[in-house]
Chain A
Amino acid sequence: MTGTEIQTSAAVEQRNGSAPVLEVSDLHVTFPGEGKGPDIRAVRGVGYSLRRGEILGIVGESGSGKSVSSLAAMGLLPDHARVTGSIRLHGEELLGLDDRRMSAKRGETISMIFQDPLSGLTPVYAVGDQIAEAVRVHNPAVSKAEAADRAVELLELVGIPNPAQRYRAFPHEFSGGMRQRVMIAIAIANGPDVIICDEPTTALDVTIQAQILEVLKTAQRETGAAIVMITHDLGVVAGLVDRMLVMYAGRPVEIGAVDDVYYRTRMPYTMGLLGSVPRLDDEEKAPLIPIRGNPPSLSALPSGCPFAPRCPLAIDACSEAEPELQPVGAEGHAAACVRTGEIEEHGWSAADVYPLPEASGAGSGQPPREYRETVLDVDGLVKHHPLMKGAVFKRRVGTVYAVDGISFEIAEGETLGLVGESGCGKSSTLMEILSLRTPQSGKVTVLGRESGRAGHRERFEIRRDVQVVFQDPMSSLDPRMQVFDVVAEPLRTHRHPRAGLRARVNELLTLVGLDPAHAARYPQEFSGGQRQRIGIARALALKPKLLVLDEPVSALDVSIQAGVINLLDDLKAELGLSYLFVAHDLSVVRHIADRVAVMYLGRIVEIGAADSLFSAPAHPYTQALLSAIPVPDPEKERTRSPIVLEGDLPSPASPPSGCRFRPRCPKFRTLSTAEQQACVDTEPGLNAVSQDDHGAACHYAEKRTVV
């Protein structure tokens, strides 16, 4: 009898929205070590509670235990994981439920959206059937036809055009963004009370990220669910969440209302995180504030505060015991740090706490770019790939216009950032430049020598002047070679005198901030950021003039990324290098680039000095791209409304007639029919939009501030 009463009152509380929907307390997850290896303590004491309709952000670098703690709530951890603590859904304990009872909750009351939409759907079933399955598994009474109707409704809700026809499509026919929409449809199919989103937009382009975030907001409106938003992107959480939890090494280190955490940060790690993100809304180029060192290994945690080895405020008391979350300042704000009180008292911010790296003075004192030597000159470069079909007898069925006539030049000591959605032709451009072959059409001139015209010897010479750094530090380094040999390899190839070899390698390692004493180690013994430094050291070995960087920091966590970006900045100033910097993260590009070129479907649609282009972009595509990037500033972010582009990047095999951006162009829709004609008929060329050489390929280019 009493049980019922308690339940009833709980239900009443529920309806009033005062009782938490999901309550996690003192959650610990340990993965037993393999063989005799030490245990991995992935989550240690996570706790939060979530009310109806509330959005909680969980941020932290990779490996901090964000995913593991959410999988624990879903009961989807592998069997060998040891989970303790408590996870209550509507007051009912979930830990310890058997598979049958837990399955009844999953997808019905609590559901989850995962990071990688490309592999998240079963390849052999139609997308509609996969949604209908989610409906029917919890409501066996619903007929197949009714479930299919519901699936079409859901497809419509998440913004799939022609949902009734697309129901029959298979996952491989959908782009990443559309598949993520399907995943959201599956997650909300039964109107859950809690939706856990584990980095739902990390694998997507910013324009698609903006779409997906909109869909998530719609989904929340429809279901009234509480959302746990896991991300490493401090911009995404800023505008979206009510409260946030910062995790470090499996522990919650700061929790509170989003404004408190951003503006009244009370924990040095959170400060470091906020200080190390390059910001799109930063006009001046101050060096980023990296956090030194790396996160600790979860199987060998230091005693005391796990952040102590990296913390600029660490004192002896820090290593005595692991600090607990203590309330600070406003209600609900808590931080795990012994010096929280002092931080609050003095009102310290990241700039006070972290030693500021000296500004490298790059760009100052250089003559204007017209007077500098041109290091790379690309003129009308074209790269078309044949589109083949057939398994045995291949036949050509079309052409992929990967790079379709682009021109730009890079002056000595200059960084050109090349940006655009994935598939727009950035990598093809790089490959064409690096191949040093005669292009299909157009001209590539490296340091005054035209590609394809050079003889064998000359090409060898050019190779030393142009070096490349790739995205994935691990796959571009041979795991069987010691770091010394990795760096020495290009020197040997180019017959560096044997006598000075060791000295040169040591010099290079020091230059990129690595300890020469570690030269005998193998790449896998280094962390991601260090490996990228090894890659940079190797690229610098031959004293190149131009460094081509293909997404060099996108695989790194922000605190590590900041250090590598600063390094690149310093090297440029010190060695007078030029960079061709390809990245999809525009905040990083804004930070590092002097000039920026924006690519869309094989063409450059806007090019100009970084300041001019970022502060007042003129092409509708650039405007949309910039407005889609969330800035890590809650107040600012809440007032911004992104220009959400519709649809995906069209196939580069069949670009639209006239202006290639037309089908997605928000500006086009505001034009009169007469004005639209120009967009339909003629492809716009790059025309200057201001006195400096800022150009945009739009008939109606108009500068606008969007950040």
Chain B
Amino acid sequence: MGKFLVRRLVNYVVLIMLATTFAYLLAATTLSPRVNYEERSPRPTEEQVDQRLDELNLNDKTPLAERWVVWASGVAKGDFGKTVTGTPVNDEIERRVWVSLRLIIVGTVLGSVIGVAVGAYAAVKQYRLFDKASTAGAFFVLAVPAVVIALSLQVFATMFNQAVGAQVFVYNGEGTLGLEAGFWGTLWDRLKHMILPTLALALAQFAAFSRYQRNMMLDVLGSDFVRTARAKGLNRRDALLKHALRTALIPTVTYFTFTFGVMMAGTTFTEKIYNWNGMGSWVVDSIVTNDVHAVAAVSCFMAVCIMAASFLSDILYAWLDPRVRVS
């Protein structure tokens, strides 16, 4: 099994390198940092611009291959180059990466765990009220674009705040600027800011997972081994948890990788809408400012996240399914 995981890991590293390179090449050929200088007044001379762009390794007059070699050798040493304004990309990553990871990790864990629980319970209560309600809810969330969900949550929060006359929900930024409230106060402030964007992300995860888990669970509910478990004396709840759900989790784990990719895309506009300075909003800004290296860095980050999720689901899969472990 160890060998299997190592092989998988090597595959992932190669995939990350390919994805990042591809993103760099795409960004470097379509984005033009030179344009940024055209609107300056006084407009700098072409030599000045060239000189500046050469410093940043962004000069389109240098052959692409040459620029790529410089960039790639930097990345290999852990240096993602400079932004269009000349600040190190690494500094920016450091500032933003935890902002995004906080959202992604909490959103994923909440969404998938609740989704699995609700889906499994709905399957047990097939066609009853709980099942119908959760099905309706999940389909609603799936049918509405994630942007709309994020925006409507904001609208609801505003209405709620107005109704109770207090700032219960906050939906702008990661925290209150310049707040001096000590450790606990700051933590509470951060939490309050987190609720809505996390919910926006978690909802989509939840919807996908609850549908999927419900179907997987329905497949095993009538199966012979659950009947065997009950025939040996397990009560209904134990048979469902220890035998049905345990088996029905296996396919869901592979599904995890798939939904995770969709969620990563969701983080970009969620961060934008809630005004979070994370990796997602950065990529949107960078495209506007023709920031080639920033785009490449964010792509690399996303690739790493997705591969990490895949690897995690590989591990979970091998852990849950002895058939993989044994062979």
Contact A124 B247 (CB under 8 A): yes
Question: A204 to chain B: closest CB distance in Å?
Answer: 15
Could you tell me the distance between the alpha carbons of A290 and B227 in the complex, rounded to whole angstroms?
36
**Does A122 make an interface contact (CB < 8 A)?**
yes
Q: List the A side residues contacting B321 at CB < 8 Å.
A: 123-124
Could you tell me the distance between the alpha carbons of A186 and B227 in the complex, rounded to whole angstroms?
13
**Does B323 make an interface contact (CB < 8 A)?**
yes
Contact A186 B228 (CB under 8 A): yes
Query: How would residues 2 to 16 of chain B score, 1 for a CB under 8 Å from any chain A CB and 0 otherwise?
Result: 000000000000000
**Does A247 make an interface contact (CB < 8 A)?**
no
Could you tell me the distance between the alpha carbons of A114 and B226 in the complex, rounded to whole angstroms?
12
Could you tell me the distance between the alpha carbons of A172 and B325 in the complex, rounded to whole angstroms?
12
Query: How would residues 132 to 143 of chain A score, 1 for a CB under 8 Å from any chain B CB and 0 otherwise?
Result: 011001100000
Contact B230 A103 (CB under 8 A): yes
Q: Which of B96-112 contact A (CB under 8 A)?
A: none
Contact B322 A126 (CB under 8 A): yes
What residue of chain A has the Cβ atom nearest to residue B230's Cβ? A76
Query: How would residues 200 to 237 of chain B score, 1 for a CB under 8 Å from any chain A CB and 0 otherwise?
Result: 00000000000000000000000111011111111110
Q: List the B side residues contacting A99 at CB < 8 Å.
A: 235-236
Could you tell me the distance between the alpha carbons of A108 and B235 in the complex, rounded to whole angstroms?
13
What residue of chain B has the Cβ atom nearest to residue A189's Cβ? B232
What residue of chain B has the Cβ atom nearest to residue A137's Cβ? B233
Question: A119 to chain B: closest CB distance in Å?
Answer: 4
Q: Which of B151-183 contact A (CB under 8 A)?
A: none
Chain A CB within 10 Å, residue with most, of B234, B320, B321: B234
Identify which of A104, A119, A121 contacts B233 (C-beta below 8 A).
A104
Q: List the B side residues contacting A124 at CB < 8 Å.
A: 246-247, 250, 320-322
Query: How would residues 153 to 169 of chain A score, 1 for a CB under 8 Å from any chain B CB and 0 otherwise?
Result: 00000000000000000
If A170-B323, A170-B326 touch, does A122 touch B231 (CB 8 Å cutoff)? Answer: no
**Does B243 make an interface contact (CB < 8 A)?**
yes
**Does A376 make an interface contact (CB < 8 A)?**
no
Question: A45 to chain B: closest CB distance in Å?
Answer: 25
Q: List the B side residues contacting A186 at CB < 8 Å.
A: 228, 232
Question: B228 to chain A: closest CB distance in Å?
Answer: 5
Contact A103 B235 (CB under 8 A): yes
Q: List the B side residues contacting A36 at CB < 8 Å.
A: none
Question: A217 to chain B: closest CB distance in Å?
Answer: 21
Contact B232 A122 (CB under 8 A): no
Question: A99 to chain B: closest CB distance in Å?
Answer: 5
Question: A109 to chain B: closest CB distance in Å?
Answer: 10
**Does A173 make an interface contact (CB < 8 A)?**
yes
Chain B CB within 10 Å, residue with most, of A116, A121, A122, A187: A122
Q: Which of A85-109 contact B (CB under 8 A)?
A: 99-100, 103-108
**Does A209 make an interface contact (CB < 8 A)?**
no
Query: How would residues 234 to 271 of chain B score, 1 for a CB under 8 Å from any chain A CB and 0 otherwise?
Result: 11101000010011001000000000000000000000
Could you tell me the distance between the alpha carbons of A173 and B225 in the complex, rounded to whole angstroms?
16
Chain B CB within 10 Å, residue with most, of A103, A183, A190: A103
Contact B247 A123 (CB under 8 A): yes
**Does A24 make an interface contact (CB < 8 A)?**
no
If A121-B225, A122-B225, A122-B243 touch, does A134 touch B323 (CB 8 Å cutoff)? Answer: no
Contact B232 A114 (CB under 8 A): no
Contact B231 A112 (CB under 8 A): yes
Question: B163 to chain A: closest CB distance in Å?
Answer: 43
Contact A119 B224 (CB under 8 A): yes
Contact A119 B223 (CB under 8 A): yes
Contact A114 B227 (CB under 8 A): yes
Q: Which of B296-327 contact A (CB under 8 A)?
A: 320-323, 326
Q: List the B side residues contacting A189 at CB < 8 Å.
A: 232
Question: B322 to chain A: closest CB distance in Å?
Answer: 5
Could you tell me the distance between the alpha carbons of A173 and B320 in the complex, rounded to whole angstroms?
17
**Does A38 make an interface contact (CB < 8 A)?**
no
Q: List the B side residues contacting A170 at CB < 8 Å.
A: 322-323, 326
**Does A33 make an interface contact (CB < 8 A)?**
no
Q: List the A side residues contacting B250 at CB < 8 Å.
A: 124
What residue of chain A has the Cβ atom nearest to residue B323's Cβ? A172
Could you tell me the distance between the alpha carbons of A602 and B224 in the complex, rounded to whole angstroms?
32
Could you tell me the distance between the alpha carbons of A108 and B246 in the complex, rounded to whole angstroms?
24
Could you tell me the distance between the alpha carbons of A204 and B121 in the complex, rounded to whole angstroms?
36
Q: List the A side residues contacting B246 at CB < 8 Å.
A: 122, 124
Identify which of B232, B243, B247, B320 contacts A107 (C-beta below 8 A).
B232
Could you tell me the distance between the alpha carbons of A76 and B230 in the complex, rounded to whole angstroms?
8
If A124-B321, A170-B322, A170-B323 touch, does A133 touch B223 (CB 8 Å cutoff)? Answer: no
Could you tell me the distance between the alpha carbons of A189 and B235 in the complex, rounded to whole angstroms?
17
Q: List the A side residues contacting B323 at CB < 8 Å.
A: 123, 170, 172
What residue of chain B has the Cβ atom nearest to residue A138's Cβ? B233
Question: B164 to chain A: closest CB distance in Å?
Answer: 44
Could you tell me the distance between the alpha carbons of A99 and B235 in the complex, rounded to whole angstroms?
6
Q: List the A side residues contacting B228 at CB < 8 Å.
A: 114, 120-122, 183, 186
Question: B190 to chain A: closest CB distance in Å?
Answer: 40
Q: List the A side residues contacting B223 at CB < 8 Å.
A: 119
Question: A702 to chain B: closest CB distance in Å?
Answer: 43
Query: How would residues 171 to 207 of chain A score, 1 for a CB under 8 Å from any chain B CB and 0 otherwise?
Result: 0110000000001001101100000000000000000
**Does A532 make an interface contact (CB < 8 A)?**
no
Could you tell me the distance between the alpha carbons of A124 and B322 in the complex, rounded to whole angstroms?
6
Question: A35 to chain B: closest CB distance in Å?
Answer: 12
Contact B231 A100 (CB under 8 A): no
Identify which of A76, A125, A138, A187 contacts B227 (C-beta below 8 A).
A76
What residue of chain B has the Cβ atom nearest to residue A100's Cβ? B235
Identify which of B225, B227, B234, B322 contacts A103 (C-beta below 8 A).
B234
Q: List the B side residues contacting A134 at CB < 8 Å.
A: 232-233
What residue of chain A has the Cβ atom nearest to residue B250's Cβ? A124
Could you tell me the distance between the alpha carbons of A133 and B228 in the complex, rounded to whole angstroms?
12
Q: List the A side residues contacting B227 at CB < 8 Å.
A: 76, 114, 120
Could you tell me the distance between the alpha carbons of A124 and B233 in the complex, rounded to whole angstroms?
19
**Does A74 make an interface contact (CB < 8 A)?**
yes
Q: List the B side residues contacting A112 at CB < 8 Å.
A: 231
What residue of chain B has the Cβ atom nearest to residue A98's Cβ? B235
Could you tell me the distance between the alpha carbons of A111 and B229 in the complex, rounded to whole angstroms?
11
Q: List the B side residues contacting A122 at CB < 8 Å.
A: 225, 228-229, 243, 246-247
What residue of chain A has the Cβ atom nearest to residue B227's Cβ? A76
If A119-B223, A124-B320 touch, does A111 touch B247 (CB 8 Å cutoff)? Answer: no
Contact B232 A133 (CB under 8 A): yes
Contact A107 B233 (CB under 8 A): yes
Could you tell me the distance between the alpha carbons of A76 and B322 in the complex, rounded to whole angstroms?
29
Contact B224 A137 (CB under 8 A): no
What residue of chain B has the Cβ atom nearest to residue A108's Cβ? B233
Contact B225 A111 (CB under 8 A): no
What residue of chain B has the Cβ atom nearest to residue A105's Cβ? B233
Could you tell me the distance between the alpha carbons of A104 and B230 in the complex, rounded to whole angstroms?
10
Contact B231 A111 (CB under 8 A): yes
Question: A190 to chain B: closest CB distance in Å?
Answer: 8
Could you tell me the distance between the alpha carbons of A116 and B234 in the complex, rounded to whole angstroms?
20
Could you tell me the distance between the alpha carbons of A104 and B233 in the complex, rounded to whole angstroms?
6
Query: How would residues 273 to 303 of chain B score, 1 for a CB under 8 Å from any chain A CB and 0 otherwise?
Result: 0000000000000000000000000000000
Contact A123 B235 (CB under 8 A): no
Could you tell me the distance between the alpha carbons of A190 and B233 in the complex, rounded to whole angstroms?
10
Could you tell me the distance between the alpha carbons of A186 and B243 in the complex, rounded to whole angstroms?
15
Question: B130 to chain A: closest CB distance in Å?
Answer: 15
Question: A476 to chain B: closest CB distance in Å?
Answer: 26
Q: Sample 18 A-B pairs with CB under 8 A, ordered by A number.
A: A76-B227, A103-B234, A106-B232, A106-B233, A108-B233, A114-B227, A116-B224, A119-B223, A120-B224, A120-B227, A122-B229, A122-B243, A123-B225, A123-B247, A123-B322, A137-B238, A183-B228, A186-B228
A107-B232, A190-B233 known; 19 new pairs, CB 8 Å cut-off, are A74-B231, A103-B230, A103-B233, A111-B232, A114-B224, A114-B227, A116-B224, A119-B224, A120-B224, A120-B225, A121-B228, A122-B229, A123-B247, A124-B250, A133-B232, A133-B234, A137-B233, A137-B238, A170-B326
Minimum-distance CB pairs A-B, first 10: A107-B233, A107-B232, A134-B232, A119-B224, A103-B235, A122-B225, A120-B224, A137-B233, A106-B233, A112-B231
